[in-house]
Amino acid sequence: VEKVLTVKRPWAWLPPQLWLQPLRAVNDRGVPLARPWPDLVIGCGRHSAMPALAVRRASGCRTFAAQIQDPRVGRDEFDLLLVPEHDRLRGPRVAVTQGAIHRVTPTRLAEARRHFPALAELPRPVLAVLVGGANRSYRLGLDRLGTLAEAIASILRAGGGSAVVTPSRRTGAAGIALLRERLAGLPAEIWGGAGDNPYYAYLAVADALLVTADSVSMISEAAATGKPVHVLELDGGDTKFARFHAMMRQAGITRPFSGKIEGWSYSPPDDTARAGALLRDQVLARLGQRRPA
């Protein structure tokens, strides 16, 4: 059962460690966090940490509690923490992943390709462009988006092929409009948010990828394809992002975008499958079961 939690006021204004009753601090969209307590609870993100630990405590610690990303609170109470390498959190209950845990698999990509058959007719090579936006660490304004659009246009004019562009919510309406304007008349498809999301299909059909530097998740998902991942550097950044980008470059997975598309190969990280296998084995051990043959 997946529960999407939103934090109620006034708790949303306070750090999670100050939530006096974590199970009452969140809205659970009609499916209450109540008995019977599960064998396993997996949280992701800072706001899920305290409710996950509250479930573990309420079960008498029978519930196995795993957390994706550094919870920053209650670290010693979790049975397993799955954190990316650049977070630098280490310990006996910590499993380190190269990047972010995600849902990109060969099966999902193949299914997405079949769901969007028209993409197979795009002129080759296909460049998939994953565009994020401003966040606490990076700035991505219209000027930088305009530069990105001009670079894509130059690549298409010089080398042929096509581009498929997927913005995020952080890109904003003005940013999407700018991309459409600058790429008008070129073999470029920009998803505007209507209809089925072609994100996984874009990853599947791409020959190379160009990703803005503001998202560990997008870069990790792009890297799961095994295709060249070019990273568009942005103004801003912080030490965690710097460590992540350095690690991905040193592993031969990404390269800074220089205005042209290059080709190289690498073994795609398999973080999600490895993390899932580790979690499964630990939960089965807790339940006193043996791993299926």
Answer whether 230's CB lies under 8 Å from 109's CB. Answer: no
133: domain CATH number is 3.40.50.2000
DSSP code, position 108: H
Q: For the chain, how big is the Rg over CA atoms in Å?
A: 21
Question: Predicted confidence band at 46 (pLDDT cuts at 50, 70, 90)?
Answer: confident
| Predicted local confidence at residue 293, as pLDDT | 46
Domain assignment present for 244: yes
Domain assignment present for 18: yes
Q: Is 94 in the same domain as 124?
A: no
Over 70: is that where the pLDDT of 30 sits? no
Q: pLDDT tens-digit profile of 106-147? A: 999 999 999 999 999 999 999 999 999 999 999 999 999 999
Question: Predicted confidence band at 193 (pLDDT cuts at 50, 70, 90)?
Answer: confident
Domain assignment present for 242: yes
Half-sphere CA count of 246, side-chain side, radius 13 A: 9
Over 60: is that where the pLDDT of 25 sits? no
Q: Is 65 in the same domain as 112?
A: no
Q: Is 118 in the same domain as 81?
A: no
Q: Is 110 in the same domain as 237?
A: yes
CA 91 to each of CA 78, 88, 94, 148, 270: distance values in angstroms, whole numbers, following the listed order = 11, 10, 5, 41, 21
Over 80: is that where the pLDDT of 217 sits? yes
> pTM (2 decimals)?
0.88
Range of the domain at 63: 6-98+272-287
Domain assignment present for 32: yes
Average model confidence (pLDDT) for the chain?
91
Q: Is 176 in the same domain as 74?
A: no
Compute the distance between CA of residue 184 and CA of residue 125 in angstroms, rounded to an integer: 19
Question: Predicted confidence band at 290 (pLDDT cuts at 50, 70, 90)?
Answer: very low
- Quote the number of domains for the chain: 2
Compute the distance between CA of residue 124 and CA of residue 163 in angstroms, rounded to an integer: 9
Q: What is the mean pLDDT of residues 147-169?
A: 96
Q: Is 36 in the same domain as 128?
A: no
Contacts of 267 (CB under 8 A, 6+ apart): 226
